Amino acid sequence: MGITLASPSRLASLDGRVPTVATLCSHSSLQIFHGARSEGLPTLGICVGAPPRFYDAFPLARPDRFLSVPNVKELAGAVSRLRSEGAVLVPHGSFVEYVGAEAFAELDVPVFGNRAVLAWESDRRKERDWLESAGVPMPQLFEDRSEIRGPVIVKYYGAKGGKGFFLAKNREALEDFHATGPHVIQEYVLGTRYYIHFFYSPLVDRGYRVGHGSLELLGMDRRDEANIDELYKLGAQEELFRAGIRPTFVVTGNVPVILRESLLPKAFEVGARIVERSIELFGGMVGPFCVEGIMTEDLEFKVFEISTRIVAGTNLFISGSPYSDLIEPGLSTGRRIAREIKQAQAQGRLAEVLS
Ligand code: ATP
């Protein structure tokens, strides 16, 4: 038996009915609706104003119904409608960001996964405490600039898409830099980026056992980041600065990747430690999460961030990935979410996967 995340009153709206998978029409919603439909669950698309037309182009991913709200920030006003629909909210990056992590955590509607994770992920300091205390290697943080021995990256808090991040080759190069807001100075890790899509299920009692349940690897991607990914074609950073071009990490797309098979044990070890520590800290992270890190030439995997929900990189694998195909052909993260909800209900264990 796993950990209870939801009170009976929170889940009362689901009593004796099939849960409706509901999410904001954006980010990975096509995959989430497609996955729910494949599992025979009803779907509800939350949108601002009229339903987006692009769903008409994808009949297998179009939600059964839409719930139109005037402003996503005011989703609290739609709580009774969502409860009467038997909705289970599936969080994704845009959904949580537009509603706001705190407001999202307070919605009195069943949410897939443990909403307590939001407080740990949305605060960079808490996130670092979680990962470091789990024994996960991370880029070094510099409180004191005199300790800097190599390249660094300066990150502003809440800089979406890495806007305004500053790269310095060394301590001297940082001297001309004057921060314009709260920031951290981090070791710039030289290596190859991997964004690893995991799924933790407290219900499954076989496979790669972690905590009370099982850790699954569903896919992996790398983000295309404008304009940093193409900088090398134009030459050194100093030249670009002279031309008034600053590197940004705004995500423009995703490409599929795989890890060398001999590195998979390392990936699982990192994923398992993060889950085990989450169980100790706040009752566990349930469902999809993404470990975002850099593999160095010494084959050390340094994690710079985790996303504690479905990430857009999983959209590459709506019809399965080289990893999920070895669990079940054609299994997407969206479908895996719907499956978990269905199985939890069949076993009378919804309170372990919803909050
Ligand atoms: P988002 O919230 O959009 O994911 P963010 O503002 O939280 O982005 P990060 O995800 O921490 O920023 O970093 C954005 C990008 O910067 C990463 O995808 C990676 O390319 C690069 N990056 C971040 N930290 C490091 C590091 N320590 N060394 C090298 N590159 C890094």
Answer yes or no: is 1 within a domain.
no
Do 159 and 105 share a structural domain?
no
CATH for 48? 3.30.470.20
**In this predicted model, which residue has the larger pLDDT, 241 or 301?**
301
Residue 200 in contact with ligand 1 by CB distance below 6 A: no
**In this predicted model, which residue has the larger pLDDT, 161 or 174?**
174
Which of 157, 237, 305 should be mutated for ligand 1, with most atoms under 8 A from CB? 305
Do 315 and 245 share a structural domain?
no
Distances (CA, A) of 53 to 13, 34, 270: 30, 16, 41
Q: What is the mean pLDDT of residues 273-284?
A: 98
Do 307 and 284 share a structural domain?
yes
Closest alpha carbon to 335 in 41, 23, 3: 41
What percent of the chain is predicted at pLDDT more than 90? Answer: 82
Q: What is the mean pLDDT of residues 238-265?
A: 86
Residue 42, helix vs strand vs coil: coil
Answer yes or no: is 3 within a domain.
no
Of these ranges, 70-74, 82-86, 158-162, 175-179, the one predicted with the greatest mean pLDDT is 82-86
Closest alpha carbon to 259 in 302, 195, 215, 315: 195
Dihedral sign of CA atoms 156, 223, 90, 328 in order: negative
Virtual CA dihedral for 334, 339, 342, 348, nearest 10 degrees? -120
pLDDT band at 179 (very low <50, low <70, confident <90, very high): confident
The range of the structural domain enclosing residue 272 comes to: 8-134+191-223+257-353
> Is 194 in contact with 323 (CB distance < 8 Å)?
no
DSSP 55: G
Say what the pLDDT of residue 227 is: 74
Do 80 and 184 share a structural domain?
no
Do 164 and 105 share a structural domain?
no
Q: Picking from 97-106, 163-172, 198-207, 209-218, which range would have the lowest pLDDT averaged per residue?
A: 163-172
Residue 341 Cα to ligand 1 middle (Å)? 32
Q: What share of the chain is helix, strand, coil (3-state, %, to 5)?
A: 40, 25, 35
Do 313 and 272 share a structural domain?
yes
Closest alpha carbon to 28 in 344, 301, 307: 307
Do 69 and 27 share a structural domain?
yes
Residue 277 Cα to ligand 1 middle (Å)? 23
Q: What is the mean pLDDT of residues 50-71?
A: 96
Give the number of domains in the chain.
2
pTM of structure: 0.95
Do 302 and 325 share a structural domain?
yes
Closest alpha carbon to 334 in 59, 89, 60, 31: 31
Say what the pLDDT of residue 208 is: 98
Do 110 and 219 share a structural domain?
yes
CA within 13 Å, CB half, 113 = 26
Angle between helices 333-346 and 29-38 (to 10 degrees): 40
Say what the pLDDT of residue 169 is: 85
Answer yes or no: is 140 within a domain.
no
> Is 225 in contact with 141 (CB distance < 8 Å)?
no
Distances (CA, A) of 204 to 32, 266, 338, 339: 21, 22, 14, 11
Residue 259 in contact with ligand 1 by CB distance below 6 A: no
Q: Picking from 19-23, 174-178, 197-201, which range would have the lowest pLDDT averaged per residue?
A: 174-178
Residue 290, helix vs strand vs coil: strand
Answer yes or no: is 313 within a domain.
yes
Residue with the smallest CA separation from ligand 1 atom 21 is 249
Q: What is the mean pLDDT of residues 172-195?
A: 89
pLDDT band at 174 (very low <50, low <70, confident <90, very high): confident
Residue with the smallest CA separation from ligand 1 atom 20 is 249
Answer yes or no: is 94 within a domain.
yes
- With b for 16 or more beta-carbon neighbours within 10 A and e for fewer, the 218-234 pattern comes to bbbbbbebebbbeeeee
Do 127 and 21 share a structural domain?
yes
Do 244 and 282 share a structural domain?
no
Say what the pLDDT of residue 164 is: 75
Do 314 and 266 share a structural domain?
yes
Answer yes or no: is 2 within a domain.
no
Q: Closest ligand 1 atom, CA of 189? A: 28
Answer yes or no: is 209 within a domain.
yes
Q: What is the mean pLDDT of residues 226-232?
A: 72
Answer yes or no: is 218 within a domain.
yes
**In this predicted model, which residue has the larger pLDDT, 247 or 131?**
131
pLDDT band at 89 (very low <50, low <70, confident <90, very high): very high
Distance, in Å, from the CA atom of 95 to the CA atom of 85, rounded to the nearest integer, reads 19
Which of 152, 249, 295 should be mutated for ligand 1, with most atoms under 8 A from CB? 249
